[in-house]
Amino acid sequence: MPSDTHKGHGFRKELISMLLDLRPRFLRFPGGCFVEGEWLINAFRWKEIIGPWEQRPGHFGDVWHYWTDDGLGYYEFLQLAEDLDATPIWVVNIGISHHDKINISDIAPLVEDILDSLEFAKGSAESKWGSVRASMGHPEPFLVKYVALGNEDCVFSFYREHYLEFYTAIKEAYPDIQIISNCVGSRVRLDHPADLYDFHIYKNSTWVFLNKTMFDNVPRTGPKVFVSEYAVVEEKPGDGGNGNLVASLAEAAFLTGLEK
């Protein structure tokens, strides 16, 4: 770990300087597939990645096939968002991976675990998990307002049942929290309560150009759209590729459509 870091928070100063130049408005963590894993045994577990870095067990990121020491943990994420003046968006596993799931009858401990994570972030310094945060050097609560329930899990028929268990518990304990669903509500109204819905696109440049106005006629009432992942990916030779000028222009055009 570097010894001379931004505010002593573990991040190299030149990297933070570049992030500050980007002026991000939100920071989403721990991201997409990483939060769930190919199998639940390799899912992201926040309680194992707080405390001294050298005492964290790490885990195998089986989606991307590498071992992570989890040096960037939940606390560091919250701290980084605060340093960047960015809104933290906490993505949680709701008992679903790419290949297995927790039965709904056994879901209660995981629901409690997520409530603990919110107490760690938002609870008073006298609360059980808020006191852990305070002991790490941050007695004041972090401003966590958004929680995403799962990642791209709406494809599973059991997603809604799992989702509602977490939605109900979080809203009861933290009514100010805005909940983000994995199910897209831009064309068909959602069949479950949500404050926002998460939209991801990975398409070729032609598709991205042609769909830059796709949200123009989305209803302005009800859950708002949150586009947390977007990228041009090559689907046929010469159509944008990965990271060339055409791909950049397509992504820029798509983003201008989002700003309307």
Beta bridge partners of 75: none
Q: Is residue 42 part of a domain?
A: yes
Looking at the 3D structure of the chain, how many domains does it have? Answer: 2
Q: Per-residue pLDDT tens for 154-213?
A: 999 999 999 999 999 999 999 999 999 999 988 788 999 999 999 999 998 889 999 999
Mind listing the pLDDT tens digit for each residue in 42-98?
999 999 999 888 899 999 989 989 999 998 999 999 999 999 999 999 999 999 999
| Token pair belonging to 1 | 């770990």
Q: What pLDDT shows up at residue 185?
A: 87
CA atoms of 1 and 10, how far apart (whole Å): 7
Residue 110 pLDDT greater than 70, yes or no = yes
Tell me what pLDDT residue 239 has.
65
Neighbours of 129 (CB within 10 A): 18
Q: Is the same domain home to 14 and 73?
A: yes
The pLDDT of residue 237 is 67
Q: Is residue 1 part of a domain?
A: no
Q: Are residues 245 and 132 in the same domain?
A: no
Same-domain pairing of 39 and 142: yes
**Predicted confidence band of residue 260 (pLDDT cuts 50, 70, 90):** low
pLDDT at 129: 97
Instruction: Tell me whether strands 66-68 and 59-61 are parallel, antiparallel or unpaired.
Output: antiparallel
Tell me if 147 is assigned to some domain. Answer: yes
Same domain for 200 and 229? yes
Please indicate, yes or no, if residue 187 is contained in any of the structural domains: no
Domain boundary among 153, 182, 211: 182
pLDDT at 194: 96
Q: Do 81 and 156 sit in the same domain of this protein?
A: yes
Residue at 8: amino acid letter: G
- Residue 107 and residue 219 in one domain: no
Question: Does 149 reside within a domain?
Answer: yes
The predicted pLDDT at position 53 comes to 86
Query: In degrees rounded to 5, what are phi and psi of residue 15?
Result: -70, -45
pLDDT, tens digit, 9 for 90 and up, residues 114-154: 999 999 999 999 999 999 999 999 999 999 999 999 999 99
Instruction: Name the residue range of residue 226's domain.
Output: 196-260
**189 within a domain of the structure (yes/no):** no
